[in-house]
């Protein structure tokens, strides 16, 4: 799959994402449900700890991608929901630490919400991936 970044402005690059990407030659697309900070039984983890929740949500996203034979380099877009946008942004270095090494900067949207499906959850990440 060929990915061509589209960035009419450069400001988003400092935050680790492209405004858009043109995808050409992809064969499979994976649409992931929102991944949160839950264990293998679906129990919320890291209550009150945004950083811990972001890290575990990313671990869970990587597990879903891996089960489909993909990884973070295959992610073509992200939708992120946070109960505290400012706190999420303080910890967005975790996103760069995961996506940077695979040279990926998928387009993303960050949305503030009053709560997620389970009250202890603070952060949820949806992804679309392709290969």
Domain segments of the chain as ranges:
2-130
Quote the tokens at residue 121: 């959850």
Choose among 6, 23, 33, 18: nearest CA to 108.
Answer: 18
Q: Sign (positive/negative) of CA torsion 129, 54, 120, 107? A: negative
Q: Cα–Cα distance between 99 and 73 in angstroms, integer?
A: 7
Q: What is residue 26's predicted lDDT score, i.e. its pLDDT?
A: 67
Fold of domain 2-130: 60s Ribosomal Protein L30; Chain: A; (3.30.1330)
Entry pTM = 0.86
* DSSP E strand stretches across the chain: 2-6, 20-24, 29-31, 75-82, 108-112, 123-130
pLDDT tens-digit series, residues 108-118: 999 999 999 99
> Which residue numbers in the chain have pLDDT < 70?
26
């Amino acid at each position: 799959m060929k990915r061509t970044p589209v960035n009419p402005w450069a400001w988003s690059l400092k935050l680790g994402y492209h405004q858009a990407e043109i995808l050409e030659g992809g064969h499979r697309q994976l649409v992931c449900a929102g991944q949160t900070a839950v264990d293998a039984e679906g129990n919320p983890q890291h209550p009150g700890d945004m950083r811990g929740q972001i890290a575990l949500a990313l671990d869970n996203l990587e597990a879903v991608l891996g089960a489909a034979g993909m990884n973070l380099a295959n992610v073509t877009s992200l939708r992120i929901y946070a109960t505290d946008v400012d706190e999420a942004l303080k910890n967005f270095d975790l996103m760069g630490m995961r996506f940077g090494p695979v040279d990926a900067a998928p387009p993303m949207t960050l949305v503030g919400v009053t709560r997620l499906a389970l009250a202890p959850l603070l952060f949820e990440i949806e992804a679309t991936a392709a290969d």
